[in-house]
Structures are given as structure tokens and as C-alpha cells.
Amino acid sequence: MIIFLSLAEASLAVPKYSKSGCKDTCGNIRIPYPFGIGADYSVNPWYIVDCISLKPYLSAALNHLEVLSVNLEDQTITVNMPKISDCQNSSQIMGIDLGRSPFLYSKSHNNFVVEGCGNAVMMDHGSTLTGCSASCDNVTVGNKNTGLGFSCCQTTIPYYLKSYTMNLTRLDRQAGGYGGCRSAFLVDKNSSDDTFVVRDGSFVPVSLLWTLSDLDKHKVTCCDALNGGLVVDTGNGTTLNTWKCSRDYRPFEGSPYLIDGCQDTEECAKCKLDNGRYCDYTRIYDVDGLAKEWNFTCGHILIAASIEGFQYMLQQKEIDPSLVNKTILFTSRELAKATDNFNENRVLGRGGQGTIYKGMLADGKIVAVKKSKSDDESQLEQFINEVVILSQVNHRNLVKLLGCFLETEVPLLVFEYIPNGNLYDCIHNESHEFPLSLNMRLQIATEVAQALAYLHSAISIPIYHRDIKTSNILLDGLEGLKHKGAPRTPHSIPSRD
């Protein structure tokens, strides 16, 4: 009992959000690295947070903006910004200039809002970005879907901004009691109505994208991957590259910008404490294509699918169990990263029992990953049989099995990637770059026959494919026309008869 509790405590380790010696909260607001409370604890001086009366504020260079939240996944920090109102006939209002700071007004997380009786145009260095008009006719109280208060409108902004100005013009017709005053401002579009009124109602939450330069990347030690491919549109054809520590295949607790900052979520850690179970996450996206939430599953690991179970199955089939040592055993993390978390854009083909994804391993090697459609235990026998069969074959005209992943309900197989599609598409696509000559067709037939002869008679236990068709003949190089006659989809995997 003592040992069990010790293991539980170790598995439910406290996530690390800040550098050693630094507090990670101010009041009830979490301040994770690369931000830091006080000097010497942030990635650079712009990321220093001052904790004053249990409220966090960015540095003086950014007007002591109050911090409402920091989102490591979206790479945003939400702050309170002044909501400036005007009651004159017309005026121009300047938003806070982010200047030389590493922050930008996020186009993905903010809307431009106009309240009151008037028109407003948002501009960037004299160029019009967007605008809308709020009429005071038939004034009603708004909501977060149609407006933020009396008579309002809202719209999106076209790109990420360092600064902006707003031109406000009063409409002639005004609603009684509203006084003709109006205001225009950016506001975090995911905030609810009741968060708009902060203190005396003169502040609104605004989300800023924070960026890391080439100098900053040397001051972070990612617990996972450092992604330098995040390109930010800053308008007029200009872009900004920013570094980001990412762990896109599974949510975590802690800061990914610290080497020991990625801990399993509490629900995942508790799931793993139950022997024979594993946790799995699937991304859910909103209509804008932004990651919205994760769908969590705590599933059962099939005991027979473990390495020991695999070896036992090999013994039953009178196959040398040392075969498992010749097959690469991939991790779920490797294959999730290789396929961009099994992104639909990576699908090469679908069969009756599963889907094939194009993937790239850490060493740059391109592979094809087959993910079984079913988690039915009855399918395990076929999976083991498939590994057994494909591990025995070695012929230049048969697709090679590179490895597998055994530790989930849904088995995964990793094959070499064949780049030029299948024979069926080559025959039926009239616009194909390489039309098949008679000699090419004879060569394909010859090499398929050689592969079948190998399966039937050259290995100790004969294998009968039983599903030879043009869609299962893959083309590896049309110029030299070396072809591989081998299955691509689960229903056509060779079977031992």
C-alpha cells in the first residue's frame, strides 16, 4: 500500500510553470515562463510582470497594463486596456502603441467594436483597415453576439498590428438619453459580456500575441519541440517569424518553455494510475480553424498487444520470438508528430479496416502510417498476423514494414513510403505525366510475378496475397520504372493461408 501511494504521488507531480525561485501566480492569475514575476525570471525585460496588491502588471514600458491571463497554447496575453469614449462631433483616438515591444494586437482573438451613435474607421499609419456604423435608432441592450452595450457594431481586423488610430464621427440622429457619446476599441472576442465591465467600466480585455526572436530562443529550453515556422501577417505583404515551444499532439500542465515543464494533465495522470489504461486526446477546432478544446479519452490497453503478448503470439505461430527485436517499435509521440496528429490533410488512402497517413520521422524519412479503424479485440489476431507476415518478407518488389506501435487499442503499422501512387490511377488518368508504353506494362507484369513467386515459394511458410489488383500495385519511380507489387490498404494485406 505504501509503494502504491508513492507511485501515485510521483505520477501526479506538481507542474512547473516558472523558473526556480520564482512565484508563478499573482493573486489568482497564473504567470508562466517566458513571463516572470520580478527581474531575472523572464525571457527578456519586456516579459517582466510586477505583482502589485495581488494584481499583475506588465512593465512600465507598456503603461503598466494589467494582466488578465496568459495562454501558452495560443501564444497570447490578455490585458486590460482603456476604453476611450468621446462626446464631441468628431475626433481621432489613438490606441496604445506597442512600439518596439515583442507584442502585437492579435487579429485572431480581437474584434473592432463601435458603441454609441456614430461611425468609426480603424486606420494603420493612414491606411484604412476596417470600420462600422452604430445607429441609435430603436436602441436596445446588446449581447455578446450582436454588440456589447447600447447601439453597437463589431467587425474583424485584417492583420496583426503594432498600433492603430480611430476616426469617430457622430450620426445626426441620436437616441434620447444616450447623449451622442460614442467609443471605439479593440476587445477580446472570446470574453463574455460581464468581463467587459472592469472596475468602473472604462477598461476592456484585449489579447496581444507575444513573439520570441532569434535572440530569445537561446534563453528557453523546450520540454518538446521548438517551432520556428510560426509566420505572423503584419500587413502590406510583410511578415514576422516567431519561435514557439509546442506540444501539439497532447495538452499538458506546466510551461513548455522549461525543460521539465510538460506534465500530463491531472485527468491523464489519474487515468494512467489505473493499470491497463492509457489517455488519448483529439483536437476540436472552431469555425476559424483555431484550436478550441481537447476531447479526452481514457481507454484500455489490450494486454495481448504488449510486446510480451506479441512474443507469445509469435510462439503460437511457431515463429522465432526474436523477430520482435528486428522490428522498430515506435512511440505514440513519434507517430503523432510524424503525421501532425493524424491530420486529415495527410491521408493517402482509406480501406475497409483503416486509414493510411503520410508521415515524416524525426530524421526526415518519409513513411506511410496505417492506423486501424477498429479497436475490437477480435482484430488483434489479424494485426499480429500482419506483423508476422510482413516481418518475414524481404523483396525489392514488396513494400517493407519498417515498424509498429503496440501500446494502444488501435494498432499502428509503419511502412516505407512509395511516392508515385498506384497503377490504377496511372492507367485511368489520361493526363498522367508518364503514359505507360507496352514495355512498361510488360515490366510491371514481370515484377509483380516475381514478387508473387517469392511469396509463394521463396520463404519458409508460403504467403498468398489473394487481392492482386491495380490499386495494390504501387509505383516507386516512373522514370526507371521499378515497381512494387504490394498492398496499401488494410483489407489487402497478404494473408497466410
Q: Are 265 and 294 in contact (CB under 8 A)?
A: no
Task: Note every long-range contact of 411-414, with CB atoms under 8 Å and residues 24 or more positions apart, other chains counting.
Answer: 411/305, 411/372, 411/379, 411/380, 411/383, 412/330, 412/335, 412/369, 412/370, 412/371, 412/372, 413/369, 413/370, 413/383, 413/386, 413/387, 414/328, 414/330, 414/335, 414/359, 414/367, 414/368, 414/369, 414/370
Is 467 one of the annotated active-site residues of the chain? yes
Find the catalytic residue in 50, 193, 340, 467.
467
Burial class (CB in 10 A: 0-12, 13-18, 19+), 304: middle
- Angstrom CA distances, 430 to 47, 175, 425, 427, 436, stand at 59, 68, 9, 7, 10
DSSP state of 495: B
Q: Are 148 and 187 in contact (CB under 8 A)?
A: yes
β-bridge mates for residue 269, sequence order: none
Please, which residues have CB within 8 angstroms of residue 56's CB and are 6 or more apart in sequence? 26, 27, 29, 31, 37, 49, 50, 66, 67
Which residue, 464, 489, 277, is CA-closest to 372?
A: 489
Please, which residues have CB within 8 angstroms of residue 84's CB and are 6 or more apart in sequence? 93, 183, 185
Torsion of CA 21, 27, 29, 34, to 10 degrees: -20
Residues acting as catalytic residues: 467
